[in-house]
Structure 1
Amino acid sequence: MPTNIVPIPANEMDRILNLYEFDIDYSNLESTFKDLTRLAAKISGTDISLVNLIDSYTQWSVSNFGLDIDQMAREDSVCQYTILEDDHFEVEDLSIDTRFQDKSYVANPLNLRYYFGVPLKTNTGHNIGALCVLDKGQKKLTPEKIELLKIIAKEIITRLNTIKVIEDLKNRLLAEKETSKKVAHDIRGPLAGIIGVSEIIQDQGNDSKLADILEMVNLIHTSGKSVLDLADEILTEKRISKPLKEDDFNLLVLKEKLLKLYTPQAKYKDINFTVHINETNETIGFSKNKLLQIIGNLISNALKFTTEKGNVGVDLDLQTIEDQKYLNIAVTDDGVGMSDESIDRILNGTNTSSDGTVGEKGYGFGLVMVKHLIDGLKGKLEISSIEGKGTKFEVKIPQY
């Protein structure tokens, strides 16, 4: 295959959608697969083993053995070819393969030569990444070892599915809790009105002929007050300060994750990357559902189209409008900018990819996926840009 052709799966859009359904935090899975990466290296007899997930821009090494690596540009990876395969992909000598011989991992100090990868195929048949093993020496795996690596690859998918089920349950429980709060809020007004009327009747109803009516009103008042207190208790619960759990999200946690995930990409291109948050709201919890996928794609896109010494900034805030909480996200760059036609194509979901400022390859669907995810969360996306001066993406996502 010629080196200038980008390998893209035929079902790339569906593949990316399937990956995003797992809503993966790429910075938080090392312990989940640590035993499997070690086992894969032992079975294959190689120095290195990696679990890689591949999105529109980046290969994320969510677990590693023998090589301390977190991420790599997708166009530089070997696993981008593995996700094209149904069974496996093998390169016996990377140094003589024109697709890889000029890559940094083939040169000193790594001097990698052998690669074997098994696609991570989901239940819907999409390859969202690869389990791979690498070595400095040339090798040839036996059929028995290959079968064992495939078993490990299936176990990786099983664990990802388990994580997804747990997260889906958490989101459903959170939605149920928010629904109960909304119900409490909705019934509070009418109940307060009933109690108010009953108090007026009590004050004016001293005539003994109204004794029976007053007794009924007293019952209404007592019952209504009890339910009103319950509604107040439910509504007040969200204002009680609670310790942040390990997997809870707030602006501080989100900022730290974004800096950890995308600072390496910015440093590689010598771009100034910053994340700012509204410190007043920094500890308020909110749902992390699809946030890393949405913001991550916007940041990767901004880095791709910003030149050396340029700037990419992220601003995060929480806003409450008429009892509805919104997460506001702004990603700004001073890169090459976009035409009005390009903006329209993104907002209409028909955008196509293009190469970055230093030749980064375009795999398409990145911004199309962002629009799809935002729509799925009932959010809004606005884009403003001046060609040659930069672009600003603004996202508003309701928090239920």
Structure 2
Amino acid sequence: MKASYPIAENEFERLVDLADFDLDYTTLQDKFKDLTTLAAKVTGTDISLINLIDSYTQWTITNHGLDLQFMPREESVCQYTILENDSFEVKDLRNDERFAQQWYVAKDPQLRYYFGIPLKSSRGNSLGALCVLDTTLKELDPEKIEFLRIIAAEIVSRLNTIQEIRHLKQHASDLNESRKRVAHDIRGPLGGIISMAQLVTANGDSFKLKEILDFIELIQMSSKSLLELADEILVQDDKWKNQNGSSEEVFHQVKLKDTLEKLYAPQALVKGVHFSIATEASTELMPFSRNKVLQIVGNLISNAIKFTPQTGRVEVNTRLTREGSRNMLRLTVQDTGVGMSEEKVNHILNGQGQSSQGTNGESGYGFGLPLVKHLIDTLNGSLTIRSVPGNGTCFDVSLSQPRTN
């Protein structure tokens, strides 16, 4: 009988919180490696992992003692840790029916002991867990557990720092763009003011007092208009930031393809699903904002793999086009899976979750696709779904973006 897997009461808020960090799980190893090493040494355990858990997958962003990059969420122990306020311990994994048959217990490395601490964001949501494991039975004393709590707090602090650095980089980029716009937009009015001032200076003796006063009035009017223009530019700049967020980071299709292949090709390989990503050659190096793009397309790919049987296909296509003063990023994820009914498609488009099992019995949590819809809506994008039961599904995402070049 299929086990029942736990879901937090605030699961959707938790997933949104994790998505707001906008992390690329392939780039974090070096930033946290010292902390997993420290956790293992402090506790005297063979293994230490830092795991972040999204809708479908537990991502091991760095590890010590076990070469692990990901596992299906429903197979993990940390899925229980993120439900706890303080910690979660399993003294012998062999004697717990939730884990006794999992590969990491029944087969190599034959793990026995587990201790995990949830990684809580400033909003109080569990993003994942710091855990230590061992192939022998252990007993952690309170002092070692307190050390783990300190390390867990440092992990969250570094995640916050990574997010803040990204915000600061974008703010600096925004300021640079504002400087360029101001320099361009005020050049004409300022030139006119300078010309009028030079005219008065050079020919002042030949002008009557009234003419000079008229020139001064024109200069004042031009100066006032210049100030109003500067105010308008600043207001527009604030509106642009509010509409587009402050976490923009330049990306392009080739980099997106490389990241997605690193993250999801192993999952497809394990299930025996053919996975491919195609870019548009003419625009594949054209920059675009990566804001939430990995979270959106990643959830769609995970969902597609989950509902596609062995030897099936999951195909991703990316393209970027210029439309007026904007760029349009289009992402398509198409599979040859089980498909969906019109009713289920409507539930997704209405932001509602429906839990169901994948083609290999993978657990369904019902939050992945509603999360995608939520993220797309926050970016003022659009999502269309074409699906026929038994004949696969195609997700089309369109995201309008400001020019980045």
Same fold, TM exceeding 0.5? Answer: yes
The answer to which of 138-147 and 317-326 deviates more is 317-326
2:313 to 311, 314, 318: 311
Find the residue that maps to 2:387 and give its secondary structure: strand
Pairing 1:247-262 to 2, within 5 Å after superposition: 248-262=250-264
Match of 1:25 in 2: 24
- Report the Cα offset of residue 264 of structure 1: 1.1
Q: What is the alpha-carbon distance in structure 1 between the residues aligned to residue 188 and residue 382 of structure 2?
A: 30
Structure 1 counterpart of 2:362, one-letter code:
E
Q: Deviations over 1:369-394 (max 9, x none)?
A: 10111111111111111111011000
The alpha carbon displacement at 1:108 in A equals 2.7
Report the RMSD for the aligned CA atoms in angstroms: 2.5
Match of 1:63 in 2: 62
SS at match of 2:251: coil
Following the alignment from structure 2 to structure 1, what is the Cα–Cα distance between the partners of residues 32 and 147?
Answer: 16
1:111 aligned counterpart, secondary structure: coil
Q: Residues 293-327 of structure 1: CA distance to partner in whole angstroms, max 9, x if unpaired? A: 00100000001111110000000111111121111
1:187-235 CA distance string (max 9 Å, x none): 99999xxxxxxxxxxxxxxxxxxxx9xxx9xxx9xx9xxx9xxxxxxxx
Contact 1:51 1:130 in 2 (8 A): yes
Is the Cα–Cα contact under 8 Å of residues 312 and 333 in structure 1 kept in the other structure? yes
Structure 1 residues 184 and 272, CA gap change in structure 2 (3 angstroms) = farther
Instruction: Provide closer, same or farther for how the CA distance between residues 373 and 24 of structure 1 changes in structure 2, counting only shifts above 3 A.
Output: same
CA contact (8 A) 1:298 1:370 kept: yes
Whole-Å separation in 2 of the counterparts to 1:393 and 1:148: 45
Question: What is the CA–CA distance in structure 2 between the aligned matches of 1:352 and 1:189, rounded to whole Å?
Answer: 58
Aligned equivalent of 1:205:
none
- 1:93 corresponds in structure 2 to 92
Please name the residue that 2:236 is paired with. Answer: none
Q: Contact 1:3–1:98 (CA<8 Å) still a contact in 2?
A: no
- 1:172, CA displacement in angstroms? 3.5
From 383, 393, 399, the counterpart of 1:391: 393
Give per-residue Cα distances to partners, 1:126-149, cap 9 Å, x unaligned. 111000001000001000000000
Map residues 83-162 of structure 1 onto 2, 5 A cutoff: 83-162=82-161
**How far does residue 84 in structure 1 lie from its aligned partner after superposition?**
0.7
Letter in 2 for 1:286: F
TM-score (ref. length: structure 1): 0.82
**Matching of residues 1-400 of structure 1 within 5 Å:** 4-176=3-175, 248-400=250-402
Task: Give the match's secondary structure for 1:27.
Answer: helix
Gaps of 5+ in 1: 192-211, 228-246
Any gaps of 5 or more consecutive residues in structure 2? 191-210, 227-248
1:105 is paired with a residue whose SS is helix
Deviation at residue 169 of structure 1 after TM alignment: 2.4
Q: Which stretch shifts more, 167-176 or 139-148?
A: 167-176
Q: Secondary structure at the match of 1:35?
A: helix
Distance 2:185 2:352 in 1: 41
Q: Which moved more, 1:154-163 or 1:360-369?
A: 360-369
- Give the counterpart letter for 2:93 in structure 1: L
Cα distance change of structure 1 residues 285 and 175 upon mapping to structure 2, 3 Å threshold: same
Counterpart CA distance in 1 for 2:176 and 2:351 is: 33
Give the TM-score, by structure 2 length.
0.81
One-letter code aligned to 2:322: T
User: Secondary structure of the equivalent of 2:27?
Assistant: coil
Distance 1:98 1:3 in 2: 12
Contact persistence 1:61–1:69 (CA under 8 A): yes
